[in-house]
């Protein structure tokens, strides 16, 4: 199992508490509206006024916002990707990756097996991803899912089983 299959295990173990859900398109549509608004303001400005830099900036930012919003809407509507959604809290789970050295492997695995996520987060982290702990947590409650992966032979392999804590 790779770290990409972790979401499927979360859905299976959470028994309806955490389900896959498509992300909202409200923010991308808002980005499109802002971009179009900037383009409209650019079009309403008098061309003879000495504000060429302002017009260029409005045109650039309006076009970038509108195009980025359109791309985000297309990706969110046509893509097959789903994000973990906590039904109890009504919010998406946040993903964090904690990086540790290989020397900390036993400590990290013990903390994961005990479910002591506060101590795990307080450990000193490394810049090298020799041991990666992938954590999905709810910002509103104490729903946490963690699993440790070790970097071996050019891929991340699981070190322990998925730890899921739903309170």
- Tell me: the pLDDT tens digits for 31-86? 999 999 999 998 888 776 677 788 889 999 999 999 999 999 999 888 777 888 88
Judged against a pLDDT cut of 60, whether residue 1 lies above it is answered with no
Give the residue among 23, 2, 18, 19 at the shortest CA–CA distance from 134.
Answer: 2
**Are 30 and 56 in the same domain?**
yes
The pTM of the full predicted model, rounded to 2 decimals, is 0.74
Domain-ending residue, one of 41, 62, 78: 78
Based on the domain organization, do 89 and 17 belong to the same domain?
Answer: yes
Q: How far is CA 26 from CA 33, 39, 77, 117, in A?
A: 11, 20, 12, 33
Q: Are residues 64 and 92 in the same domain?
A: no
Q: Are 31 and 18 in the same domain?
A: no
Residue 9's pLDDT band, with cuts at 50, 70 and 90, is confident
Domains of the chain: total:
2
Place of tokens 């919010």: 91
**Domain of 98, in residue numbers:** 3-22+82-165
- The residue from 78, 93, 116 where one domain ends is 78
8 and 86 inside one domain = yes
Least confident of 25-29, 93-97, 140-144, 160-164: 140-144
Same domain, 108 and 155: yes
- Considering only residues 140 and 33, tell me which one the structure prediction assigns the higher pLDDT: 33
> Are 86 and 17 contained in the same domain?
yes
Residues 137 and 115 in one domain: yes
Q: Do 86 and 55 lie in a common domain?
A: no
92 shares its domain with 153: yes
Same domain, 72 and 106: no
Are 134 and 93 contained in the same domain?
A: yes
């Amino acid at each position: 199992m790779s770290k990409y299959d972790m979401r499927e295990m979360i859905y299976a173990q959470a028994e309806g508490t955490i389900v896959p859900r498509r992300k909202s398109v409200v923010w991308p549509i808002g980005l499109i509206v802002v971009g179009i608004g900037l383009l409209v303001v650019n079009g309403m400005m008098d061309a003879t006024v000495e504000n060429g830099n302002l017009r260029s900036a409005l045109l650039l930012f309006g076009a970038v916002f509108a195009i980025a919003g359109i791309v985000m809407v297309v990706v969110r509507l046509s893509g097959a990707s789903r994000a973990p959604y906590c039904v109890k809290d009504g919010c998406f789970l946040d993903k964090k990756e904690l990086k540790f050295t290989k020397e900390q492997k036993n400590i990290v695995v013990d903390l994961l097996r005990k479910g002591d996520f506060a101590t795990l987060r307080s450990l000193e982290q490394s810049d090298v991803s020799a041991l990666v702990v992938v954590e999905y947590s709810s910002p509103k409650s104490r729903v946490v899912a963690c699993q440790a992966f070790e970097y071996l032979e050019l891929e991340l392999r699981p070190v322990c089983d998925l730890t899921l804590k739903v309170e």
